[in-house]
Amino acid sequence: MNEAKFTLTPQNARGVMRLIWDNLNGWFENGNLEITIRPCKSKRSIEQNRRLWFLYREISEKVFIDGRRFSQDVWHEFLKRKFIGCIEMPNGQLMGISTTKLSVQEMSEYQEKIISWASMEHGVLWD
């Protein structure tokens, strides 16, 4: 076994703990185990996702670079790379880190960075 992750809730805690207990011997075959317990980060909300794509749409309509407009998808990739970071793909190219793993707090911070950047760098006025 390489890794197992579980999300505990009051409703499933007993079943998950039973599953862990019942499988411990098999998991110990590769040595000792490490257990980490931490609060579950709530993932971004549907409302945040809608707002994010509203921001991309506004930028795609209001920002021109050397006289050119860019699509929402292009701005999505550009801004992920700028504010969240990149991962290297097997061919050496860089890809923006996905926004799907951001928590509610991280998504709020990301959107605030986008708003500030678009306002300061490109004079975008938000409706």
DSSP string, 32-57: -------PPPPBPPHHHHHHHHHHHH
Delimiting residues of CATH 1.10.3790.10 domain(s) in the chain: 46-122
pTM for the whole structure: 0.68
| pLDDT at residue 1, as a whole number | 64
More confident residue, 69 or 31: 69
| pLDDT at residue 39, as a whole number | 82
Do residues 102 and 94 make contact, with C-beta atoms less than 8 angstroms apart?
A: no
Per residue in 8-67, pLDDT (tens digit) is: 888 998 999 999 899 888 888 888 988 888 887 777 788 999 999 999 999 999 999 999
Q: What is the mean pLDDT of the chain?
A: 91
| pLDDT at residue 65, as a whole number | 96
More confident residue, 30 or 94: 94
User: Per the CATH hierarchy, to which homologous superfamily does domain 46-122 belong?
Assistant: NinB (1.10.3790.10)
